[in-house]
Amino acid sequence: MRSTTPARRLRLGLPRRAFSQVLLMQVAIAAGVVVLVTGLFLAPLGNQLDDEAMRRALAIAQTTATIPGLAEDLRDTPPTADGPVQRQAERIRGASGAEYVVVMDLNGTRWSHTDPRQIGGHVSTDPRQALAGHEVMQIDTGTLGRSARGKVPLRDGDGRIVGAVSVGIAYDSVHDRLVHAVPGLLAYAGGALAVGALAAWLISRRVQRQTRDLAFSDISALLAEREAMLHGIREGVVALDRTGRVRLLNDEARRLLGVGEEAVGRSPDEALGTGRTADVLAGRVTGTDLVTVRGQRVLVANRMPTDDGGAVATLRDRTELEQLGRELDSTRGLIDALRAQDHEHANRMHTLLGLLELEMYDDAVDFVGEVVGDHRATAEQVTERVRDPLVAALLVGKATVAAERGVALRVTDDSRLPDRLADPHAVVTVVGNLVDNALDAVAGTRHARVEVELRTDGRTAVLRVRDTGPGIPADQRESIFTEGWSTKQPPAHGKRGIGLSLVRRLAERQGGCAVVGEATGGGAEFTVVLPEALTGPDAEPALSAAARSTDEEES
């Protein structure tokens, strides 16, 4: 018995399912509205019937008071049960269906009544208003019970008041009319209640489908859990409605996109500005694991449509992973350079060993001098034109890798880059990405060559990389700077199509630009302009002096 008591208590309470609760509330509301409307209709109906009964009683009284000779009979005959006044009054009562017709004199004495024994007695209600010449309508209680009454003065041929006529219609008859009208009203009210119950059932079924037949407490708990989950996970979540406007942003999405609460209710283009990130969120770019760059962050986005026409996009921060990947690429490039040097060194050692075994000592000395001179010449040529150690070291390493791959990499004679770069790492990123793309473009071609030109104009640095590859078609020269666009296979650590996008973003962040065109003789020519790339005074005089000193030394 103890175990069944809680269940009974639960059954006596409100149902837990949202469908049942909504249906019960809708039916209760419909029933309340029907009862209220019925009451509001019955109240004026009762008043209207009472008013009609009083007006009818007054009309009968007025008709009775105009009967010829009634005033003279009242004045000349005594009040008796078989007198002329009683006969006239009963005739009119029978013809009109009134409850009573009472004729009284100026003293309030009855000359007619439905009960002959009441004739000669004083009326039970106050007749003074009617005897004073006023017509009276009222609901009152007399000897015959509660009735609707009409009283008028009775005048003789000279217009003098000689008495009054009081006509009553029993109130019970009015009440009976009201009661007779109630079944019809209840039928209409029942029909309205049935329609309301059907509408409530349809609405409840729709609510049931939309809420998956969950209880309101379950829905509330799910909302609380959703809020905790959205703001607790380390992935950005952006929800959009069917019109493409942002409906929800969790904390991580605000951090990754660099926006605040003001982005809610706006489209991605309005909140983020035009660009690939907005295109991905809006669904104009489709696919999985779409790479996009927002500020200094590399993001991976996935977008999933929802049943209501909206969408949910998730954002993952791959900035650190991308940096690690680039460090891995740099390490791989360094390994390739060391492997190339080791390969060349082994070949040279074998050549030197052969010369020594053949006792060609003079040739061996000349060979060692030539090898050392070539390597020293390459390093000196780079460091002579590129004074920044990071950029120079990058180009020396890339030259070694290029030689291993059968590509001639050279820095043009008119290149000049001083050691006053404001952001050497940015220049290294730009040059490294451009050279890597050029080496990939010319790989496997005959007479492969890559030229690097680094010049300055005041504080502005102009970086150019030319190759003898197949070039870039005119209709794709803007697409190659888009995040995720690439013609090459992705590396092991992630997706391609980020390098050139970062190059353009670095240039635009400094107020410059990055463009690609066709090189002289075929191939591609990338040009990057970096305003305010140098620190200190303008570099033009120093570079001119350096160029003159170089020319003097060469001469």
For residues 421-445, average pLDDT: 86
And the tokens for 451?
Answer: 């030229």
Helix (H, G, I), strand (E, B) or coil at 540: helix
Mean pLDDT score across all residues of the chain: 76
For residues 405-411, average pLDDT: 84
Identify which of 362, 438, 433, 363 has the alpha carbon closest to the alpha carbon of residue 407: 438
**Shared-domain flag, residues 260 and 227:** no
- pLDDT over 60 (residue 91): yes
Amino acid at 48: Q
* More confidently predicted of 536 and 511: 511
Domain boundary among 317, 333, 356: 317
- Rounded to whole angstroms, the Cα distance separating 206 from 196 reads 15
Identify which of 244, 239, 241, 284 has the alpha carbon closest to the alpha carbon of residue 267: 244
Judged by average pLDDT, the poorest of 191-205, 228-242, 358-372, 448-462 is 358-372
- pLDDT over 70 (residue 365): no
**Shared-domain flag, residues 394 and 501:** yes
**Shared-domain flag, residues 273 and 223:** no
How confident is residue 185, by pLDDT bands cut at 50, 70 and 90?
A: low
Whether the Cβ atoms of residue 534 and residue 461 lie closer than 8 Å to each other: yes
According to the model, what pLDDT value does residue 12 have? 44
CB neighbour class for 432 (10 Å; exposed up to 12, middle 13-18, buried from 19): buried
- pLDDT over 90 (residue 152): yes
**Shared-domain flag, residues 451 and 373:** yes
Whether the Cβ atoms of residue 237 and residue 248 lie closer than 8 Å to each other: yes
Q: What is the pLDDT of residues 290-341, one digit of tens each?
A: 877 777 677 888 888 888 888 988 888 876 665 565 556 556 655 665 666 6
According to the model, what pLDDT value does residue 492 have? 42
According to the model, what pLDDT value does residue 484 have? 54
The answer to whether the predicted template modeling score (pTM) of the entire model surpasses 0.75 is: no
According to the model, what pLDDT value does residue 145 have? 63
- Rounded to whole angstroms, the Cα distance separating 119 from 113 reads 6
According to the model, what pLDDT value does residue 393 have? 82
Whether the Cβ atoms of residue 294 and residue 268 lie closer than 8 Å to each other: no
Say which CATH number the domain at 342 has: 3.30.565.10
- pLDDT over 70 (residue 133): yes
CA distances from 104 to 113, 119, 158, 170, 219 (A): 10, 9, 18, 19, 78
Q: How many CA atoms lie within 13 A of 331 on its CB side?
A: 6
Q: What is the pLDDT of residues 246-303, one digit of tens each?
A: 988 888 888 888 888 888 888 888 888 887 788 888 888 888 778 777 776 778 888 8
- Rounded to whole angstroms, the Cα distance separating 242 from 134 reads 75
- pLDDT over 90 (residue 474): no
Alpha carbon 125 to its chain centroid, in Å, reads: 75
DSSP-assigned letters across all residues of 99-151: SEEEEEETT-BBS--SSGGGTTSBPSS--HHHHTT--EEEEEEETTEEEEEEE
**Shared-domain flag, residues 391 and 280:** no
**Shared-domain flag, residues 197 and 118:** yes
Q: Which domain holds residue 179?
A: 1-232
Amino acid at 6: P
Q: What is the 3-state secondary structure (H, E, C) of 237-294?
A: EEEECCCCCEEEECHHHHHHHCCCHHHCCCCHHHHHCCCHHHHHHHCCCCCCCEEEEE
For residues 63-78, average pLDDT: 88
- pLDDT over 60 (residue 131): yes
CA distances from 29 to 189, 197, 199 (A): 13, 9, 12
CB neighbour class for 280 (10 Å; exposed up to 12, middle 13-18, buried from 19): buried
Name the domain count of the chain.
3
Whether the Cβ atoms of residue 115 and residue 123 lie closer than 8 Å to each other: no
Domain boundary among 317, 339, 359: 317
**Shared-domain flag, residues 171 and 272:** no
- pLDDT over 80 (residue 219): no
And the tokens for 388?
Answer: 């920044």
How confident is residue 542, by pLDDT bands cut at 50, 70 and 90?
A: very low
How confident is residue 545, by pLDDT bands cut at 50, 70 and 90?
A: very low
According to the model, what pLDDT value does residue 483 have? 61
- pLDDT over 90 (residue 528): yes
- pLDDT over 90 (residue 465): yes
Say which CATH number the domain at 117 has: 3.30.450.20
**Shared-domain flag, residues 189 and 58:** yes
For residues 69-74, average pLDDT: 87
Amino acid at 246: V
Judged by average pLDDT, the poorest of 25-34, 129-138, 447-456 is 25-34
- pLDDT over 90 (residue 445): no
**Shared-domain flag, residues 486 and 409:** yes
Domain boundary among 212, 232, 252: 232
**Shared-domain flag, residues 118 and 47:** yes
**Shared-domain flag, residues 422 and 363:** yes
- Rounded to whole angstroms, the Cα distance separating 174 from 147 reads 9
Judged by average pLDDT, the poorest of 438-447, 450-459, 479-488 is 479-488
**Shared-domain flag, residues 219 and 262:** no
Name the one residue in this structure whose structure tokens are 């460091």: 383
- Edge-to-edge order in the sheet of strand 246-249: 246-249, 236-240, 311-317, 297-305, 290-294
* More confidently predicted of 515 and 383: 515
Whether the Cβ atoms of residue 17 and residue 207 lie closer than 8 Å to each other: no
* More confidently predicted of 449 and 343: 449
* More confidently predicted of 91 and 541: 91
According to the model, what pLDDT value does residue 493 have? 41
Judged by average pLDDT, the poorest of 14-18, 41-45, 362-366 is 14-18
